[in-house]
A = this chain, B = another copy of it.
Amino acid sequence: VTSDPSAAAEPRWLNEQELAAWRPFSGLMLKLLSALDAQLQRDADLSFFGYLVLAGLSEAPGRTRRMSELAVLSNGSLSRLSHAVATLERRGYVQRCPSPENGRITLATLTDAGYAKLVATAPGHVEAVRSLVLDVLSESQFQQLGQLATRILESDPDACG
């Protein structure tokens, strides 16, 4: 994990200060994702991940993307995406077909019904994001949160994507 031999020897626990920051943050992740999932499930019978899939497709040219690209956009594994898209396809929100150019590639396309579903679902979801997070922070605090998240995501060795 580290190349410094002296650092490897000590266990390095979290001290009190660190714990006082880590606990709320990890708790926030768990609860916030639950809350977002619950809102979408209740109001639209959609998971947060499923919502991100529809949203990711809606912004693509031709409302179409390769599965592997879509997996990255929606922050999930290819396997997870494949299952999720299978469900969305059953419900008529997405269609898959092999790429004409390269037979290994699968292209997922948002159907009109899928686009309509997204349009119907977005306001409630956005409102949840606002009331749970955005309205709670000042503008600059929210920007800070985004910057901290970006820093963590970008730095990450190989685990965070």
A-side residues, CB < 8 A to B, are 1, 11-14, 17-18, 20-33, 35, 38-39, 49, 75-76, 122-123, 126-134, 136-137, 141-153, 155-157, 159-161
Q: Is the CB of B132 within 8 A of A156?
A: yes
Q: Is the CB of B12 within 8 A of A126?
A: yes
The answer for the CA separation of A131 and B27 in the assembled complex, in Å, is: 19
The answer to whether residues A153 and B24 also contact, given A31-B160, A31-B161, A160-B32 and a CB cut-off of 8 A, is yes
Contacts of A12 on B, CB cut-off 8 Å?
123, 126-127, 130
Measured between C-beta atoms, what is the minimum distance from A88 to chain B in Å? Answer: 18
The answer to whether residues A28 and B149 also contact, given A131-B1, A131-B157, A160-B132 and a CB cut-off of 8 A, is yes
Which one of B30, B122, B132 lies within 8 Å of A152 (CB-CB)?
B132
Measured between C-beta atoms, what is the minimum distance from A134 to chain B in Å? Answer: 7
How many monomers of this protein are in the complex? Answer: 2
Q: Is the CB of B27 within 8 A of A161?
A: yes
Q: Is the CB of B155 within 8 A of A136?
A: yes
Question: What are 8 of the A-B contact pairs (CB < 8 Å)?
Answer: A20-B146, A25-B145, A29-B29, A32-B160, A131-B159, A132-B160, A137-B152, A141-B148
Measured between C-beta atoms, what is the minimum distance from A30 to chain B in Å? Answer: 4
Q: Is the CB of A30 within 8 A of B75?
A: yes
Q: Is the CB of A17 within 8 A of B143?
A: yes
With most chain B CB atoms within 10 A of its CB, the pick from A21, A27, A31, A35 is A21
With most chain B CB atoms within 10 A of its CB, the pick from A11, A76, A150 is A150
Contacts of A14 on B, CB cut-off 8 Å?
126, 129, 134
